[in-house]
Amino acid sequence: MIESVIQLFSYPFFIRAFIVGILIALCAALLGVSLVLKRYAMIGDGLAHVGFGALSVALVMNWAPLYISIPVVIIAAFFLLQLSENSKIKGDAAIAVISSSALAIGIVVTSLATGMNIDVYNYMFGSILAVSKEDLQISIPLSIIVIILFIFFYQKIFAITFDENFAHAIGVKVKFYKIMLAVLTAITIVIGMRIMGTLLISSLIIFPALSSMRLFKSFRHVVISSAIISIVCFIFGIVLSYIFSTPAGASIVLTNLTCFLLFSLVAMLRGHATK
């Protein structure tokens, strides 16, 4: 088994997916803590669906998929953020409507163009074969930018996540940072959905943060733990998916679920111990 894992690293496609995957897992985990705490987790799901629609249209039209879907998803991110801010509209319902519509457009467009069904399957559930050399060239710098911006603005992101009004009152540009979070999330999702799949990418954002919050009670510890959990679960998931020939995205979600259950169990035992 170890041999087959070592052999795995001799495939260029696998190494590409591995590098992009680790970077994306890291980005998603960092952003995820704020998104989950601000109750924006569903925005990630909505963005993934919009990304799917954009990718499908780009493929049929023979445009470069990432160059089209990244700007489209960034625009969608602005829009969804606005929706969930506005209490007059039912934000969650609006997000659901937008995601299913985008998904439907994507599927109809691809089925109209013949012989694209395999690709649809791959986009829905992810594939490590999907990461091309060109994707790698865009993904690496973009994810490094996400990570650098997150670290650079960490204190402000904390302040806004904890108490938006207070942050605003002491002069933090709340709107700017929220838009930045949305844009970074959009980029992370578009890059990550090739491996994870449209339906599963949001779990990469939500799971590590949720698991960490079971055990850790300071923001910094939650962020660090999320980053580690996310990367470890990604590596385990992708290796297991190779050994058992299961789809990569789903395998990664399941390793994350296992981790979540494990952390919940430890938290429960610890709770009993202190009582």
Partner 1 sequence: MPILTCKNLSIAYQNKIALKQISFQIHTGDYTCIVGKNGAGKSSLLKGILGLVPIQSGNIIFDEGLKQTEIGYLPQQNHTQQNFPASVFEIVLSGCLNQRGWRPFYTKKEKEKALYNLELLEIIALKNTAFQELSGGQQQRVLMARALCATEKLLILDEPATGLDPIVMQKFYSLLEQLNQKQQLSILMISHDVHTAIKYADKILHLDHKMLFFGNTKDYVKSNIGKLFLKGEAL
Burial (CB < 10 A; 0-12, 13-18, 19+), residue 260, is: buried
Q: CB of residue 213 vs partner 1: minimum separation in angstroms?
A: 5
Instruction: By CB under 8 A, name the one of 172, 184, 201, 253 that touches partner 1.
Output: 172
Question: Applying CB under 8 A, which part among 139-147, 153-161, 178-186, 190-198 lies near partner 1?
Answer: 153-161
The answer to whether 78 contacts partner 1 (rule: CB under 8 A) is: no
Instruction: By CB under 8 A, name the one of 10, 87, 218, 245 that touches partner 1.
Output: 218
Contact pattern for partner 1 over residues 108 through 147, marking x by CB under 8 A: ----------------------------------------
The answer to whether 167 contacts partner 1 (rule: CB under 8 A) is: yes
The answer to whether 189 and 44 are in contact (CB under 8 A) is yes
- CB-nearer residue toward partner 1: 62 or 274: 274
Q: CB of residue 231 vs partner 1: minimum separation in angstroms?
A: 20
Q: CB of residue 28 vs partner 1: minimum separation in angstroms?
A: 18
- CB-nearer residue toward partner 1: 139 or 225: 225
The answer to whether 121 and 110 are in contact (CB under 8 A) is no
The answer to whether 87 contacts partner 1 (rule: CB under 8 A) is: no
- CB neighbours of residue 131 within 10 Å: 22
Q: CB of residue 157 vs partner 1: minimum separation in angstroms?
A: 11
Burial (CB < 10 A; 0-12, 13-18, 19+), residue 258, is: middle
* Residues shown for the chain: 275
The answer to whether 165 contacts partner 1 (rule: CB under 8 A) is: yes
174-213 positions binding partner 1, by CB under 8 A = 212-213
Instruction: By CB under 8 A, name the one of 133, 217, 272, 275 that touches partner 1.
Output: 217
Instruction: By CB under 8 A, name the one of 2, 155, 271, 272 that touches partner 1.
Output: 155
Amino acid (one-letter) located at 90: K
DSSP string, 95-155: HHHHHHHHHHHHHHHHHHSTT-HHHHHHHHH--GGG--HHHHHHHHHHHHHHHHHHHHTHH
Residue 216: strand, helix, or coil: coil
Cα 77 to its chain centre, rounded Å, is 13
Instruction: By CB under 8 A, name the one of 169, 243, 268, 269 that touches partner 1.
Output: 169
Residues 6+ apart with CB under 8 A from 53: 72, 101, 102, 103, 105, 106, 109
Chain positions contacting partner 1, by CB under 8 A: 37, 39, 151-156, 158-159, 161-163, 165-172, 212-213, 216-222
